[in-house]
Amino acid sequence: DGGNATGADTGGGGGNNVTETWTDLTWDGLTDKRNSLQRNDLFLVDVEPYRVGRSVRYAAVWFESGSGDRLYRTGNWTDFQEKWDDYADDNYRLIDLEVYIDGNNTRILGVWRQRDKPHIFRANFNWVTFLELQRDLSDRGYRLLDVEPYSYNSDLRYAAVWEEASDEERIWKASSEDEFVQKWKDYSSQDLRLVDMEIYTGEGNSKKHLGIWRDGDDRHKLWLEDTWDGFNSKRKTFER
């Protein structure tokens, strides 16, 4: 359950693309829904696992598009890397990465879409080494697409995906919700758009808000820390 919701607005509503959002899906329910929506040219762009009691449930977003998708889940990084290599050979690019606990097992989940841009995937970095890698890849013409904090042997680690690009980007880790919302507003005024965010227990056992911003001038909104019912109600309002 969520706490108090926080919103931010730059004006305007949703776009014209057909989208579908589903919550409270089991893994089988997620895969069944994916197969069903593919027949209507709706393809996965984001999956979010979360806990309901002792069980894992999934929320997911589909966009109308002519390109296909791939969905894969495994329990170890070796298998995930092999699948990443296989999909890369078929021009599928990882766009969403999730690492989470299911029972006593670590799960690694990925969503791929058809794209022809070179991309890089790396995992198992602490914050300092992650920032070092980020600076190196930025200098080489790569931009962050997705970042995922996760626990590894009781330590906090980061995995991320980069794509070849030349636009502006920002990454910011905030220690409070107010700080994150203010940074969102600041970057919005610079024509930077939030493309990924994570809320997690970070260094010092404190709550962190981590975001990636990229160039953009589309209408956009931010809504945080709500219940699922509140989120779905706000989503419908934004999409009008």
Residues 6+ apart with CB under 8 A from 112: 69, 70, 71, 72, 87, 92, 93, 94, 95
CA distance 210 to 106: 22
Q: Which of 121-125, 201-205, 231-235 is most confident?
A: 121-125
pTM greater than 0.75 (yes/no): yes
The token pair at 99 is: 């690492």
Judge whether residue 7 has pLDDT over 60: no
pLDDT value for 194: 97
Split at pLDDT 50, 70, 90, the class of 235 is confident
Provide the percentage of residues in the chain whose pLDDT is more than 90. 74
Residues 6+ apart with CB under 8 A from 78: none
CA distance 217 to 219: 7
The overall average pLDDT reported for the chain is: 90
Split at pLDDT 50, 70, 90, the class of 177 is very high
In the chain, where do the E strands start and end?
Answer: 6-9, 19-25, 42-52, 55-64, 69-74, 92-102, 105-114, 119-125, 142-152, 155-164, 169-174, 192-201, 207-215, 221-224
